[in-house]
Structure 1
Amino acid sequence: MAATETDAHQGTFEHHVLDFLAYLEFERGLSRNTLEAYRGDLLQLGASLRRRGVDLLDAQHPDLQGFLSELAEGGEGRAPASPATLQRKAACLRSFFRHLRRESVITHDPTADLRAPRKTQRLPKVLSRGEVTKLLASPRGTETAALRDRALLELMYACGLRASEAVNLDVGDVDLRHGVLRASGKGNKERLVPIGREAIAATAAWLQRGRPEVVRLRDEPALLTNLRGGRLTRQGLYKVVQRHAKAVGLQDRMSPHTLRHTFATHLLAGGCDLRSVQEMLGHADIATTQIYTHLSAERLRDVYHRAHPRAGG
């Protein structure tokens, strides 16, 4: 009996889906690709409703919102759906149920106020001060590669540089005498960023004792070069960072961008104001910078719960 009821439900569901797709094709003139995408969306919906024991014609707003939330969260070997995919699926559901209402199949619209769930914004990974110290101490010695790697890591942490900004630096972009660097960010927008004492020392050592060994007579403006004297690529920079991260046990904790996140978080934790951090990062919108205030607050809470005798940590 249960199997018969399921088969009847399935037949009814597929009938309404086919009717809807025919309407989209012949009356709305939608493309074959769109029709296939909508068909897949509705079959996913049907499977979700069956798992919940809900008949299509009885579906309510929470059932549909739950379906979208399932897709947003992923699981069971399925990656979380992208925001664009969720928006398309929500549009498909709205169009489908409005069609059912237009055809007098249902008397209510369960898609009123239906919204594609926003993906939870993951806070970026940030290194502690101790981890940064270990990483920056990894390039040891006075060999050319060590001098280059030390300058690279120190500059990225000292100035919050993106990988593309670091490899695009020319020698003329760095003023070690005044302790300032000119970075060219997204949209070729230039900004000036202060350079700290340790980064100045590492960069000076590279320029004086390392870079001349590989550049020699080449007409190469790049500040950071490979060991053949040409400009370091983003792939080359990534390998340098990963090599030293692995050497100190941080390979699972970081990428080149982690140093940028860490730069911003450590500045805010040290009392730097948000506007100044925004300017140094080259963010057009301060809302982009504000994520680092959450990171700083989390770090403060962690310290508080570990240190306060009545915090319960």
Structure 2
Amino acid sequence: MTNEAIQEGYPSDQFSTFSSQNSKINYTYNKIREVKSYRVGELFSAYRDILWDDGRHKYNVSSFIGEIDEILLGERFSAFDQSTLDNLIGTLRQRGNSNATINRKMAALSKLLRKAYKMGDIHSLPEFRRQKERAGRIRFLEREEEARLFAAIKSRSEDAYRLSVFLVDTGCRLGEALGLIWNDIQEHRVSFWITKSGRSRTIPMTERVKEVIKLPPAEGRRPKGPFTQLSQAQFRAIWNDAKAEVGLGADDQVVPHILRHTCASRLVQGGIDIRRVQMWLGHQTLSMTMRYAHLATNDLDGCVVVLEKPRGEQPAGNAESSLFSSPVTTPSAKRKQTDEGASAKAPPKATRKSSKAK
């Protein structure tokens, strides 16, 4: 070798250099990283404030991650393999968790692990597969139930009553309503900017909503928004007391979110098409709105007429009399009847010629 083979020095960006006449190789420290192991709970403590906003959802995620860490017995890992995930899902199912609940817990875990993977804390991820969920019943309030419940809420808090009316007539989420400021309300419309999907939407207001967003004149500083004087915890406490008073305390589906279901159900039952309901509610995908599609039974009423009518009384081959005539085939059927009628009235060509000859 003509040059020094090794140059000694303190490690910095360049650890050592090997030189020859044909090649030069640099060895550096900056690509070498110590492999560490973490518990799920430690990763959550590191990234929870980055990944989740403060609120009820963050509280639920904290509970989910705590349960997962407990199932894993606080095991430390640098790679989360597929077998660990499969065993975790199996344990949750043995504990009686439904597929929908498992999906929510796995969604939180997946979000956390993907962040840890991007940050270099772990070096492999499992494949998260969504469990097939069974469509459950959707509970909504009847008009009479709404009247009783809202009266009990109003007797406790005028602000909570106004918020309840706003929720059922707009179908918005509780957090969306509480986050409203006065600039979000323009003339006959209200805009929701802070939404679960991250997409803003604007909807018209009913007359009842226009009334409840008006605050009575009061001394002092005006609140930032129509419902900012309430917190979620305060509203839920008033709600639970009121529903117990009216005999709905044992129904665990009668929570504030039922007002969103009630709004959606009334829209569908009133004949509003599913796409407009999706826009009104701010659903990110149509499949979420399709949960209410079974309530749109008006289009099926004609089926009952056909089934109840004796077979001999049903018109045969008459497109105009059919309740379910296709708009594509009906005009052609009319044209066919018109052509047949015209041919019956018109005399044969030969006959016309012979009459002219005479």
TM range (shorter): 0.5 to 0.7
C-alpha change, 1:224 and 1:148, in structure 2 (3 Å) is: same
C-alpha change, 1:151 and 1:289, in structure 2 (3 Å) is: same
Q: Which amino acid aligns with 2:216?
A: Q
Matched, 1:151 2:198: no
Shift of 1:169: 1.0
Q: Which amino acid aligns with 1:208?
A: P
Question: Where does residue 84 of structure 2 map in the other structure?
Answer: 37
Question: Where does residue 109 of structure 2 map in the other structure?
Answer: none
Q: Which amino acid aligns with 2:240?
A: Q
Shift of 1:125: 2.0
Shift of 1:189: 2.5
Question: Where does residue 241 of structure 1 map in the other structure?
Answer: 239
C-alpha change, 1:132 and 1:79, in structure 2 (3 Å) is: same
C-alpha change, 1:138 and 1:189, in structure 2 (3 Å) is: same
Matched, 1:181 2:199: no
Shift of 1:133: 2.3
Q: 1:291-310 to 2 correspondence within 5 Å?
A: 291-296=291-296
Distance 1:85 1:152 in 2: 30
Matched, 1:194 2:204: yes
C-alpha change, 1:219 and 1:179, in structure 2 (3 Å) is: closer
C-alpha change, 1:140 and 1:219, in structure 2 (3 Å) is: closer
Question: Where does residue 203 of structure 1 map in the other structure?
Answer: 213
Q: Is the 8 A contact 2:174 2:256 kept in 1?
A: yes
Question: Where does residue 123 of structure 1 map in the other structure?
Answer: 137
Distance 1:32 1:126 in 2: 45
Question: Where does residue 20 of structure 1 map in the other structure?
Answer: none
Q: Is the 8 A contact 1:72 1:119 kept in 2?
A: no
C-alpha change, 1:34 and 1:246, in structure 2 (3 Å) is: same
Q: RMSD in angstroms over aligned alpha carbons? A: 3.8
Q: Is the 8 A contact 1:123 1:295 kept in 2?
A: no
Question: Where does residue 225 of structure 2 map in the other structure?
Answer: 222
Shift of 1:33: 6.4
After superposition, give the CA deviation of every residue in 1:134-180 in whole Å (9 maximum; x if it has no partner): 22232346xxx6321221000000000101101101133234xx432
Secondary structure of residue in 2 paired with 1:254: coil
> Rg bigger for which structure?
2
Matched, 1:272 2:272: yes
Secondary structure of residue in 2 paired with 1:267: helix
Shift of 1:74: 5.0
Distance 1:121 1:72 in 2: 23
TM-score by length of 1: 0.52
Aligned residues: 199
Unpaired runs of 5+ residues, structure 2, are: 1-76, 107-128, 309-358
Match of 2:151 among 130, 137, 144: 137
Q: Which amino acid aligns with 2:260?
A: R
Distance 1:238 1:296 in 2: 31
Secondary structure of residue in 2 paired with 1:255: coil
Q: Is the 8 A contact 1:269 1:296 kept in 2?
A: yes
Q: Which amino acid aligns with 1:134?
A: R
Q: Which amino acid aligns with 1:291?
A: R
Distance 1:140 1:234 in 2: 17
After superposition, give the CA deviation of every residue in 1:235-257 in whole Å (9 maximum; x if it has no partner): 22322332332232223231111
Distance 1:275 1:73 in 2: 36
Secondary structure of residue in 1 paired with 2:153: coil
Greater relative contact order (CA < 8 Å, ≥ 6 in sequence):
1
Unpaired runs of 5+ residues, structure 1, are: 1-29, 45-67, 87-114, 227-231, 309-313
Question: Where does residue 58 of structure 1 map in the other structure?
Answer: none
Shift of 1:222: 2.4
C-alpha change, 1:285 and 1:149, in structure 2 (3 Å) is: same
Q: Which amino acid aligns with 1:183?
A: F
After superposition, give the CA deviation of every residue in 1:81-110 in whole Å (9 maximum; x if it has no partner): 624999xxxxxxxxxxxxxxxxxxxxxxxx
Distance 1:265 1:192 in 2: 20
Question: Where does residue 285 of structure 1 map in the other structure?
Answer: 285
Q: 1:1-20 to 2 correspondence within 5 Å?
A: none
Question: Where does residue 351 of structure 2 map in the other structure?
Answer: none
Question: Where does residue 74 of structure 2 map in the other structure?
Answer: none
Question: Where does residue 89 of structure 1 map in the other structure?
Answer: none
TM-score by length of 2: 0.46
Distance 1:280 1:222 in 2: 21
Shift of 1:129: 2.4
Percent identity (aligned) = 24
Q: Is the 8 A contact 1:160 1:264 kept in 2?
A: yes
Q: Is the 8 A contact 2:181 2:225 kept in 1?
A: yes
